[in-house]
């Protein structure tokens, strides 16, 4: 039996507890580039506003690890138990039965002991003579048939000197009750009987006992019996008197009356027995002189022995008048929000003196200005004056008026206590570094590019940093040498439409420029001194590869009667001779062009195009796709993520982020602006800046929240363009219609626990405002801390 029990107890539980899963924050390391990053380039309608997308509700904190498995199943091991009722009596029995022979021998010895009596040592015992002695015990049979001695209960009233003492109920001595935790009893009484453990109530009974507390209950338990310990009223009174420092017995007077050892009758005795001198009975001459003075004053009328009737009536009237004292019953109180004492008047200054210093005295012009001003407009109600002596100072004419106004102010003005902290406001501002420590950044204009007729709408620096492309209202695209400002190439794309945007292909394996004029997008290879024949031929091959792709029948197939979203064609012999090789015609005017970092895809935005406002073009396939069937809002701009296969589309109020591999909506950024004009992604990919027409520049941390991290207002007019520096320098800038550029130092730390550092370092002014339009576009040099800007004044400027 014991072996089976031990084997069952040693069996481990069959199941374990639920597993714990750890949530890890996503890494900031860029994902490796893959060839199928954009899902094989099939975007036609896949990013449309479906029902699932409309039901998408963005949250402030993007949660991760939503697909982690949780182990909800868990069982607890049980231990088997067997019925041991058969052995319980043997285990709990205290009397072990002996053999039959031993029992007979014990009976004989007991009988002989009762019949014999030992009188002397060494002498045979004699039979007892007196068996009539009273015994204080009786012999009973126990459960095993043996004899046991049972003693009578001791009555303390007769057998003890202390009648108040209570005999010990439990005879276990100093053994703690914890030794009996595994037994149903807690000790033995004087007869050896088991004292059973008191019954414990359930939770409901414990609650009732705590509500209805019995009289004398102390919350303690008797260490011998385990029963609640109740004390009497007399014991409670003794405890109370001891706690108060009184005598335990109230019958004894701690302060008895003192015994008067001396009499309380005061006895006065003279110090000497000499008789009183005569001078004590003669009137004093000094008192006589004072009396004569009073008599003389009464005769002269300087002292009246009685009051005149007029003065007596005036005093009676003053006594009848009732005067109210606002602070008659005001007592000193501790300072608290409900009590505010009346303010005190400030002490007088030097200008209130009757002989003030010369610098406090007003000049003639100041006196005339004070006299001609209205009383409400005067800073002071008095003019400082100088007197030779104090006795020549006249009475204050407006004393009663001032006191009356002060009493009215104290009576009518509400007094509210405001808890203010004595904190310097400047100490609450963050400690920003000095702009001198954050150099280099552009400070002055180095080159001015003139040649366009009308506004310069767009500027762009090529990836090598040697050429600058500009587009303007005159419909021309011009290429300049960046450092010298010399124009090296120009082409007129349209005579009616302005060139809204120009953007270089980001890859350095080709020298390709994209420009948009009206509904046409032109891809060209400009002529520049840095373009070698090999680079020029490679650029032309990149643009011509798509024509062979379409010729082989691998182009996009459309249903019958449906027009393609764009037409790819050659622009004509005249433009081809100048370097313009491809014309893409879309359905509405193009305002924005943004390239993918690999240079094979670029996105265009036509705000007036409705469902076809956003298009993605594939250069190697001459393919144009409309990724959205429906857009919730008017599209403003679009851009690709610099590291991951993500696509951002900005409407008037929100910016939506889509995953081009999974073809789903990832995040909705809410800048809170009324009308978004532009945005740009940080090269690290975790931050973006947004410019708006309501004069605000907003910084967003995409890992932190979909709300702005910082909002900056440094311009008085709308912000047209915002740009990050792509060459690793912590710089970004914005362009505004007030004709200025604001340069910022924006450092993004590698530590995720540290916030970005944003410091405005320089405001560049130079462009003129024409028809309420200032700076329209900006761009950064790929390596140096230089930026270029194009304005409505027809010039482009290089800032160093």
Confidence of residue 98 (pLDDT cuts 50, 70, 90): very low
**pLDDT digits 0-9 by tens, 485-496:** 899 999 999 889
pLDDT value, residue 744: 94
Longest pairwise C-alpha distance within the chain: 159
* Lowest-confidence segment of 81-95, 111-125, 166-180, 670-684 by average pLDDT: 81-95
| Other Cβ atoms closer than 10 A to 108 | 9
Residue 152 has pLDDT above 50, yes or no: yes
User: Which is nearest to 703 in space by CA: 669, 658, 653, 739?
Assistant: 669
**pLDDT digits 0-9 by tens, 403-461:** 898 888 877 876 666 667 778 887 877 777 888 888 899 999 999 999 999 999 999 99
d(CA 656, CA 630): 13
CB 651 within 8 A of CB 633: yes
- What DSSP character marks residue 527? -
Distances (CA, A) of 668 to 9, 54, 694: 58, 11, 21
End-to-end CA distance of the chain: give it in Å, rounded: 95
CB 740 within 8 A of CB 698: no
Tell me what the mean pLDDT of segment 530-558 comes to.
Answer: 77
Q: Which residue has the higher pLDDT, 220 or 287?
A: 287
Residue 315 inside a domain? The answer is no
pLDDT value, residue 796: 94
CB 597 within 8 A of CB 538: no
Instruction: Find the radius of gyration of the CA atoms of the chain.
Output: 55
* Lowest-confidence segment of 7-16, 269-278, 506-515, 700-709 by average pLDDT: 7-16
Residue 306 inside a domain? The answer is no
Residue 391 inside a domain? The answer is no
Q: How far is CA 757 from the centre of its chain?
A: 20
Tokens of 4: 């089976």
Among residues 207, 226, 244, the one where a domain terminates is 244
d(CA 767, CA 787): 14
d(CA 1, CA 272): 118
Cβ within 8 Å of residue 623, ≥6 positions away:
41, 546, 555, 556, 617
Among residues 244, 272, 287, the one where a domain terminates is 244
Question: Which region holds residue 213: left if phi is over 0, alpha if psi is between -120 and 50, else beta?
Answer: beta
39, with CB counted inside 10 A (0-12, 13-18, 19+), is middle
pLDDT value, residue 206: 67
d(CA 703, CA 695): 25
Beta strands, E only, 670-785: 676-681, 687-692, 697-701, 710-712, 719-724, 731-736, 740-747, 757-765, 775-780
* Lowest-confidence segment of 26-30, 369-373, 438-442 by average pLDDT: 26-30
Residue 158 has pLDDT above 60, yes or no: no
CB 776 within 8 A of CB 784: no
Q: Which residue has the higher pLDDT, 663 or 560?
A: 663
**Number of folded domains that form the chain:** 2
Confidence of residue 86 (pLDDT cuts 50, 70, 90): very low
* Lowest-confidence segment of 5-19, 143-157, 315-329 by average pLDDT: 5-19
Tell me what the mean pLDDT of segment 648-662 comes to.
Answer: 92
Distances (CA, A) of 365 to 360, 361, 370, 386: 14, 12, 9, 17
3-state SS, 298-340, equals HHHCCCCCCCCHHHHHHHHHHHHCCCCCCCCCCCCCCCECCEC
Average pLDDT value for the chain: 78
pLDDT value, residue 157: 47
pLDDT value, residue 433: 83
Residue 296 inside a domain? The answer is no
Residue with tokens 């709308």: 718
At 697, which CATH number?
Answer: 2.130.10.10
pLDDT value, residue 305: 77
Question: Cα angle at 622 between 619 and 628, to 5 degrees?
Answer: 90
Residue 166 inside a domain? The answer is yes
Residue 504 has pLDDT above 70, yes or no: yes
597, with CB counted inside 10 A (0-12, 13-18, 19+), is middle
pLDDT value, residue 175: 80
Q: CA-CA-CA-CA torsion for 27, 32, 34, 36, nearest 10 degrees? A: 0
d(CA 373, CA 441): 55
Q: Which residue has the higher pLDDT, 76 or 534?
A: 534
Confidence of residue 279 (pLDDT cuts 50, 70, 90): confident
Q: Which residue has the higher pLDDT, 434 or 95?
A: 434
Among residues 221, 244, 267, the one where a domain terminates is 244
Distances (CA, A) of 105 to 109, 110, 113, 143, 661: 6, 9, 12, 20, 104
Residue 230 has pLDDT above 60, yes or no: yes
Residue 655 inside a domain? The answer is yes
Residue 699 has pLDDT above 50, yes or no: yes
pLDDT > 70 in the chain, percent? 74
Residue 349 inside a domain? The answer is no
- For residue 51, give the H/E element and its range: helix 51-54
Tell me what the mean pLDDT of segment 772-786 comes to.
Answer: 93
Residue range of the domain that includes 46: 2-244
Tokens of 602: 């670029």
* Lowest-confidence segment of 168-177, 196-205, 465-474 by average pLDDT: 196-205
Residue 65 inside a domain? The answer is yes
pLDDT value, residue 551: 53
- For residue 799, give the H/E element and its range: strand 795-799
């Amino acid at each position: 039996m014991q072996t089976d029990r031990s084997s069952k107890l040693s069996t481990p539980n069959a199941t374990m507890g639920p597993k714990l899963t750890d949530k890890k924050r996503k890494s900031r390391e860029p994902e490796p580039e893959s060839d199928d990053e954009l899902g094989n380039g099939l975007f036609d309608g896949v990013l449309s506003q479906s029902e699932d997308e409309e039901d998408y509700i963005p949250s402030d904190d993007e949660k991760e690890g939503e697909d982690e498995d949780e182990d909800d199943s868990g069982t607890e091991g049980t231990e088997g138990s067997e019925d041991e009722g058969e052995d319980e009596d043997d285990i709990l029995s205290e009397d072990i039965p002996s053999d039959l022979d031993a029992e007979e021998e014990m009976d004989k010895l007991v009988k002989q002991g009762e019949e014999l009596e030992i009188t002397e040592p060494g002498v045979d015992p004699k039979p007892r003579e007196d068996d009539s002695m009273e015994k204080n015990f009786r012999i009973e049979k126990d459960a095993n048939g043996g004899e046991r001695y049972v003693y009578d209960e001791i009555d303390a009233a007769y057998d003890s000197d202390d009648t108040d003492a209570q005999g010990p109920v439990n005879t276990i001595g100093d053994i703690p009750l914890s030794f009996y935790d595994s037994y149903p009893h807690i000790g033995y009484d004087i007869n050896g009987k088991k004292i059973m453990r008191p019954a414990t109530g359930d939770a409901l009974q414990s609650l009732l006992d705590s509500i209805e507390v019995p009289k004398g209950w102390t919350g303690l338990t008797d260490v011998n019996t385990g029963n609640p310990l109740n004390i009497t009223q007399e014991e409670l009174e003794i405890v109370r008197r001891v706690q108060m420092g009184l005598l335990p017995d109230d019958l004894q007077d701690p302060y008895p009356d003192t015994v008067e050892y001396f009499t309380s009758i005061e006895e006065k005795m003279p110090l000497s027995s000499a008789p009183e001198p005569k001078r004590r009975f003669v009137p004093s001459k000094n008192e006589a002189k004072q009396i004569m003075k009073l008599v003389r004053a009464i005769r002269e009328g300087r002292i009246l022995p009685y009051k005149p009737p007029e003065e007596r009536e005036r005093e009676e009237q003053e006594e009848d008048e009732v005067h109210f004292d606002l602070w008659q019953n005001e007592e000193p109180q501790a300072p608290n929000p409900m009590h505010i004492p009346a303010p005190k008047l400030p002490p007088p200054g030097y200008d209130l003196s009757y002989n003030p210093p010369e610098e406090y005295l007003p000049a003639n012009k100041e006196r005339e200005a004070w006299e001609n001003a209205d009383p409400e407009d005067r800073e002071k109600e008095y003019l400082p004056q100088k007197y030779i002596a104090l006795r020549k100072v006249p009475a204050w004419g407006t004393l009663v008026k001032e006191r009356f106004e002060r009493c009215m102010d104290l009576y009518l003005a509400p007094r509210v206590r405001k808890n203010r902290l004595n904190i310097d406001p400047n100490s609450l501002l963050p400690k920003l570094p000095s702009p001198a420590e954050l150099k280099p950044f552009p400070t002055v204009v180095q080159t001015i590019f003139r040649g366009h007729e009308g506004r310069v709408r767009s500027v762009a620096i090529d990836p090598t940093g040697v050429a600058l492309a500009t587009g303007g209202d005159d419909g021309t695209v011009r290429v300049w040498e960046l450092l010298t400002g010399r124009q090296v190439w120009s082409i007129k794309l349209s005579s009616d439409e302005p060139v809204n945007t120009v953007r270089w292909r980001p890859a350095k394996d080709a020298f390709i420029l994209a420009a948009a004029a009206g509904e046409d997008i032109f891809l060209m290879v400009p002529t520049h001194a840095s373009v070698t024949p090999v680079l020029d031929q490679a650029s032309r091959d990149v643009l011509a590869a798509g024509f062979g792709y379409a010729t082989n029948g691998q182009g996009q197939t459309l249903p019958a009667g449906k027009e393609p979203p764009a037409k790819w064609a050659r622009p004509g012999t005249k433009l081809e001779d100048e370097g313009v090789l491809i014309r893409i015609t879309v359905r509405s005017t193009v305002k924005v062009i943004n390239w993918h970092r690999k240079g094979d895809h670029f996105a265009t935005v036509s705000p007036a195009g409705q469902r076809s406002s956003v298009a993605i073009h594939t250069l190697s396939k001459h393919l144009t796709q409309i990724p959205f069937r429906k857009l919730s809002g008017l599209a403003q701009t679009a851009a690709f993520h610099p590291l991951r296969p993500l696509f951002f589309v900005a409407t008037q109020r929100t910016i939506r982020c889509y995953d081009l591999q999974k073809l789903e909506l990832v995040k909705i950024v809410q800048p809170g602006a009324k009308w978004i004009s532009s945005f740009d992604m940080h090269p690290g990919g975790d931050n973006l800046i947004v410019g708006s027409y309501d004069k605000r520049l907003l910084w967003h941390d995409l890992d932190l929240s979909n709300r702005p991290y910082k909002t900056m207002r440094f311009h008085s007019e709308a912000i047209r363009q915002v740009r990050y520096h792509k060459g690793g320098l912590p710089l970004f800038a914005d362009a505004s219609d007030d004709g200025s550029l604001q340069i910022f130092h924006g450092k993004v730390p590698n530590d995720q626990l540290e916030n970005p550092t944003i410091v405005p370092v320089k405001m560049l002014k130079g462009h003129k405002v024409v028809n309420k339009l200032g700076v329209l576009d900006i761009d950064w040099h790929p390596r140096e801390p230089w930026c270029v800007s194009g304005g409505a004044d027809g010039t482009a400027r290089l800032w160093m």
